[in-house]
A and B are shown apart, each in its own frame.
Chain A
Amino acid sequence: MIALLRRDLVLAVRAGGGFGLGLAFFLILCVLVPFGVGPEPALLGRIAPGVLWVGALLACLLSLDRIFQLDFEDGTLDLLATSPLPLEAVASVKAFAHWLTTGLPLVLAAAPLGLLLNLPGAAMPWLVAGLALGTPALSVIGTFGAALTVGLKRGGLLISLLVLPLYMPTLLFGAEAARRGAEGLSPTTPLLLMAGLTAGCIAVMPFATAAALRMNLR
């Protein structure tokens, strides 16, 4: 499993495009929002949690179709499926690699981008905590979407339609935690709910992902 993780990370770094792309997209999105809604600091501060969360969601989405597609096209996925590694483990490792290359950079970039959007200081730690707790769920759910569409030529568009509704609870809890933080309320309830949601996704989704992969390889 560690070998597969290392391979995926090496490929992400060497292939180019995969690694920094989501992050750059996130940055551009956050820069574009003030042009769209105007530079008024109070307004920006109020919508910043939502903008950052939606931005993280979309940035995550951008690299999803690469998770299995390349391995499927060059035949590696067949070989992995017949290897001693269970497909559930492959699914988990792939999701973890996706999180390391996409989710983690987003978490780290969220604080400076929050400053850019005039996010209130009180909300900052909760936004980052929310992203840190929520992005693993985004990767795991996204991996499931990638497994569903792996055999398709035009999977990229379909994947967003399938995955975005599944992202809704995570988005809601994450943005709610940051908003409550900004208003000085306790954000622990949404954060705990999100942590539960993420833990549940990490535990269960790899089985659904592996099932979808098996069906697609059939």
Chain B
Amino acid sequence: MSIWRYANPTQFMATTGWMLPLFGVSAAAFVATGLIWGFFFTPDDFRQGSTVKIIYLHVPSALMAINAWLMMLVASLIWLVRRHHVSALAAKAAAPVGLVMTVIALLTGAIWGQPMWGTYWAWDPRLTSFLILFLFYLGYIALWQAIETQDTAADLTSILCLVGSVFALLSRYAVNFWNQGLHQGTSVPVATGGRTVSDVFFIPLAISMIGFGLLFVALVLLRTRTEIRARRLQALLAQSTAVE
């Protein structure tokens, strides 16, 4: 028996068929709760005023922009090692979602940066790394688009994802060395060990982050299902022409 047995789109379709609505509904609920709570039911910051409220969009999207790449990295590794087709397609499906998250993070950051720092853009390490992440997403998606043979495309994009991850990490620390920057440190308590943000702000932020996470999962599932259907269509067409 060959490696192909591990790839099981049928099983994936059956399982995600009932999971997708659950994720979709809960994502909508969490995102709506987090954003509405954050925008309308939290006090203004004493220094930043109401501009601080963009944090409920900015932080979750930035978080998911990075997590989407990490998910693609894991999925690429699974494809390279186990040749699991669904894994390759999931990586392909996640890329545009990650790209959009990166764009949201960059745009909301620019809108937030204008009143706070007096500029839409600064060559700050965090901002610059996100711009580089954006470029990596573009390259990854472009490579998928360019190659016709699906398995080869999966192979090559996986390798690109691995190499790109290493270089993205290198770039992240290289820019630190270059410019110390304006961006504040993280304000998520898990990452800092203590609390720098009061619960009033943090709870809606956490809800929004969970919501974006669920939204990401729902979108990736949906897109992966679409990709699997497209592949099945392709396979069926190839089969019907082969029979003639």
Contact = CB atoms under 8 A, between A and B. Distances in A.
The reply, when asked whether chain A contacts chain B directly with Cβ atoms under 8 A, is yes
Contact of A169 (B135, B151, B170): B170
Interface in B164-202: 164, 167-168, 170-171, 174-175, 177-178
A165 interface: yes
Nearest to A152: B146
B161 to A, nearest CB: 11
Interface stretch (A12-20, A86-94, A104-112, A154-162): A154-162
B167 A169 contact: yes
A161 B152 contact: no
A136 B168 CA distance: 20
Nearest to A197: B170
Contacts of A81: none
A198 to B, nearest CB: 12
B188 to A, nearest CB: 27
B147 A166 contact: no
Nearest to B163: A208
Contact of B167 (A158, A166, A173, A215): A166
A166 B163 contact: yes
Interface stretch (B21-29, B108-116, B136-144): B136-144
Contacts of B151: 218
A173 B155 CA distance: 31
Contacts of B139: 161-162, 165
Contact of A152 (B147, B164, B170): B147
A42 interface: no
Secondary structure call for the B interface: helix
A165 B146 contact: no
A72 to B, nearest CB: 13
B156 interface: yes
A205 B146 CA distance: 22
Given A162-B139, A165-B164, A173-B174, A216 B152 contact: yes
Interface string A173-194: 1001000000000000010010
A215 B174 contact: no
A144 B171 contact: no
Contact of A166 (B162, B164, B178): B164
Given A152-B146, A172-B178, A165 B156 contact: no
Nearest to A194: B174
A102 interface: no
A154 B143 CA distance: 11
Contact of B174 (A148, A165, A168): A168
Given A164-B135, A169-B167, A158 B146 contact: yes
Taking residues whose C-beta sits less than 8 angstroms from the other chain, chain A's interface range is 20 to 34
Nearest to B154: A215
B142 A169 contact: no
B132 A165 contact: yes
Contact of A161 (B142, B155, B167, B170): B142
Contact of B159 (A155, A208, A218): A208
What are the nearest 10 A-B pairs in CB distance? A215-B155, A165-B135, A169-B174, A162-B139, A169-B170, A166-B167, A161-B139, A168-B171, A172-B174, A208-B163
Interface of B: 132, 135-136, 138-139, 142-143, 146-147, 151-152, 155-156, 159-160, 162-164, 167-168, 170-171, 174-175, 177-178
Interface of A: 144, 148-149, 151-152, 154-155, 158, 161-162, 164-166, 168-169, 172-173, 176, 190, 193, 197, 205, 208, 211-212, 215-216, 218
17 contacts: A144-B163, A149-B143, A152-B147, A155-B146, A162-B139, A165-B135, A165-B164, A165-B167, A166-B164, A168-B132, A168-B174, A169-B174, A172-B171, A172-B175, A172-B177, A218-B151, A218-B155
